[in-house]
Amino acid sequence: MSTYDEVYANTGTDLEFYLPDIQAFDRRLLITEWIIFSSKVYRSGSVGTIDELFRDNITLGSAQSSLSNLQSNDTDGQWFYDSTNDVVYLRSDNTPVTHHTIEGGRSFSDLKTLALQKSAEFIRSYINKPIHKRLGVGIQGSTSRDYDDIIIKSNALLACASIVRPYDQERADYLDSLAYNLEEKNGYLDLIKSGEISLWHDKSSRQNQGIVRRVSVNSNTTANISDLRGLATDDDFIKVIITNGGTLTRGSANSSVKYSVFVGDDTGLQVKEVVSDEPISGAYQQLAHGLEIRFSYGVLTTNDTWEIECSGMIPESGSPVKTYTIERR
């Protein structure tokens, strides 16, 4: 069967970030009860599921497809697991009981993947809201990941908790509580549900006031967009570009350093010019969609470009719902 659902964290660095000793929980079991089955082939029963077999801490590779294949292969270290009878067979030139340490168990790689899949499914059910992938030019955050860091973090924490739980329930409970807490409601996922933490695609009060991103700014530029004022009346990605560079200095009038503003229309984003070659004063000046812009003093270079994301929608997050107790006397 196939699925379109994805996991958010990876099985390597993400899990290791929250569980540095994760390899200690690989669930390998020591196999000590070996008896001779045939010439140089030994067997051990009641060992549990064996996806991987290790000899002296080195993997023995893929299992043979059948016991007959194992018996016909005289290469030392070949093995086969009979899942029907729960018996593992090993071809060994030396007696495994006295000459080697043999361990077996589930594939740890598969186990970590399964833990991430289960926890990702839990996240989708628990927060009960869309989790969109961050794809496209200028969409990803500073970590260059496909999902919000808070979602990646929660996925990794929950997966680590499930891996640790058979060995250390207290530690597993602690890892779970960082992601969600049914009593305190202060886990990462709880804060997403309550609206205190927003996902990248949520409409928040930040978008109502405008989010400034530097798109292309010259290394010699020392000034910047220092502030926005007002509340946005529409959803857009506004483009601000310096059309003529120079130096803004306090106490000196400016007529040469200029900016233009472009907004979207029915044909595309940032295609309609609404402010054209406006001299920068250092005070609040016209931007678009009910917002005003202010530049700081310093050097601005021709073609310095910023993007301002704005939204006129009521915030979905960033304004958490609070509960108060009212008593009547």
List, as one string, the DSSP characters of 36-59: EEETTEEEEES----SEEEETTEE
Q: Within this chain, do residues 17 and 131 fall inside the same structural domain, yes or no?
A: yes
Q: What pLDDT score does 329 carry?
A: 65
pLDDT digits (tens, 9 = 90+) for 132-154: 998 887 777 778 899 999 999 99
151 domain residue, yes or no: yes
Q: Within this chain, do residues 17 and 162 fall inside the same structural domain, yes or no?
A: yes
Q: Is 19 exposed, middle or buried (0-12, 13-18, 19+ CB in 10 A)?
A: buried
Per-residue three-class SS string for 199-252: CCCCCEHHHHHCEEEEEECCCCCCCCEEEEECCCCCCEEEEEEEEECEEECCCC
Q: What pLDDT score does 171 carry?
A: 96
**Nearest partner of 315 among 197, 169, 225, judged by Cα:** 197
CA gap 230, 188 in Å, rounded: 31
Q: Within this chain, do residues 48 and 178 fall inside the same structural domain, yes or no?
A: no
Tokens 């602690």 belong to: 174
Q: Within this chain, do residues 135 and 17 fall inside the same structural domain, yes or no?
A: yes
Of 105, 127, 155, the residue at which a domain comes to its end is 105
Hey, what are 207's tokens? Answer: 């978008």
Q: Within this chain, do residues 156 and 17 fall inside the same structural domain, yes or no?
A: yes
Of 163, 194, 225, the residue at which a domain comes to its end is 194
223 domain residue, yes or no: yes
Q: What pLDDT score does 325 carry?
A: 57
Q: What pLDDT score does 39 carry?
A: 87
Q: What pLDDT score does 43 carry?
A: 96
Counting the structural domains of the chain, the total is 3
CA gap 80, 44 in Å, rounded: 11
CA gap 5, 2 in Å, rounded: 9
User: Helix, strand, or coil here: 72?
Assistant: helix
CA distances from 267 to 271, 272, 289 (A): 8, 9, 18
327 domain residue, yes or no: no
Tokens 């009878």 belong to: 85
pLDDT digits (tens, 9 = 90+) for 92-138: 999 999 999 999 988 888 899 999 999 999 999 999 999 999 888 77
Q: Within this chain, do residues 210 and 306 fall inside the same structural domain, yes or no?
A: yes
Furthest-apart CA pair in the chain: how many Å? 97
Hey, what are 45's tokens? Answer: 């029963």
Q: Which structural domain range is residue 181 located in?
A: 13-21+109-194
- pTM more than 0.85: no
Answer yes or no: are the C-beta atoms of 119 and 159 closer than 8 Å. yes
149 domain residue, yes or no: yes
CA gap 112, 3 in Å, rounded: 18
CA gap 299, 301 in Å, rounded: 7
253 domain residue, yes or no: yes
Q: What pLDDT score does 316 carry?
A: 65
181 domain residue, yes or no: yes
Q: Within this chain, do residues 306 and 213 fall inside the same structural domain, yes or no?
A: yes
**Nearest partner of 250 among 280, 274, 282, judged by Cα:** 282
Return all residues near 199 (Cβ < 8 A) that are at least 6 apart. Answer: 129, 131, 132, 148, 150, 151, 192, 317
At residue 55, φ and ψ (nearest 5 deg) are -120, 120
Q: Within this chain, do residues 92 and 122 fall inside the same structural domain, yes or no?
A: no
Regions of the chain where pLDDT drops below 50: 1-2
CA gap 149, 140 in Å, rounded: 11
6 domain residue, yes or no: no
